[in-house]
Amino acid sequence: MTPATSLFTPVEADLRILADNLTQLVGNRHPILYAAAEHLFGAGGKRIRPAIVLLISRATMLKQDITPRHRRLAEITEMIHTASLVHDDVVDESNMRRGVPTVHSLFGNRIAILAGDFLFAQSSWYLANLDNLDVVKLLSEVIMDFASGEIQQGLNHFDTNLATETYLKKSYYKTASLIANSSKAAGLLSEVSPERAENLYNYGKHIGLAFQIVDDILDFTSSTDTLGKPAGSDLKSGNLTAPVLFALEEQPYLEALIEREFAQEGDLEQALGLISDSQGIQRARELAAHHAKVAAEHIATLEPSDSLQALINMTDYVLSRTC
Q: Reply yes or no on whether the pLDDT at 136 is more than 90.
A: yes
Note the pLDDT of residue 229: 61
Q: Reply yes or no on whether the pLDDT at 2 is more than 50.
A: no
Note the pLDDT of residue 322: 74
318's CB contacts (< 8 A; 6+ apart) are 207, 210, 211, 214, 288, 292
Residue with more model confidence, 97 or 160: 160
Note the pLDDT of residue 200: 98
- Residue pair 86/115 in contact (Cβ under 8 Å)? The answer is yes
Average pLDDT over residues 72-98: 85
Give residue 250's pLDDT band: very low, low, confident or very high (50, 70, 90): very high
Note the pLDDT of residue 224: 59
- Residue pair 158/248 in contact (Cβ under 8 Å)? The answer is no
Please provide the average confidence, as pLDDT, over all residues in the chain.
91
Q: Reply yes or no on whether the pLDDT at 226 is more than 80.
A: no
The backbone torsions φ and ψ at residue 321, rounded to the nearest 5 degrees and listed phi first, read -70, 155
Note the pLDDT of residue 222: 81
- Residue pair 271/178 in contact (Cβ under 8 Å)? The answer is no
Note the pLDDT of residue 52: 98
Domains delineated in the chain: 4-321 (1.10.600.10)
**Percent of residues, the chain, with pLDDT higher than 70:** 93
Using H for helix, E for strand and C for coil, what is the string for the chain? CCCHHHHCHHHHHHHHHHHHHHHHHHCCCCHHHHHHHHHHHCCCCCCHHHHHHHHHHHHCCCCCCCCHHHHHHHHHHHHHHHHHHHHHHHHHCCCEECCEECHHHHHCHHHHHHHHHHHHHHHHHHHHCCCCHHHHHHHHHHHHHHHHHHHHHHHCCCCCCCCHHHHHHHHHHHHHHHHHHHHHHHHHHCCCCHHHHHHHHHHHHHHHHHHHHHHHHHHHHCCHHHHCCCCCHHHHCCCCCHHHHHHHCCCHHHHHHHHCCCCCCCHHHHHHHHHHCCCHHHHHHHHHHHHHHHHHHHHCCCCCCHHHHHHHHHHHHHHHCCC
Note the pLDDT of residue 227: 57
Average pLDDT over residues 82-90: 84
Give residue 35's pLDDT band: very low, low, confident or very high (50, 70, 90): confident
* pLDDT tens track for 106-134: 888 888 888 888 889 989 999 999 999 99
Note the pLDDT of residue 3: 59
Please tell me the pTM assigned to this model: 0.93
Whole-number Å distance between alpha carbons of 119 and 225: 28
Q: Reply yes or no on whether the pLDDT at 24 is more than 50.
A: yes
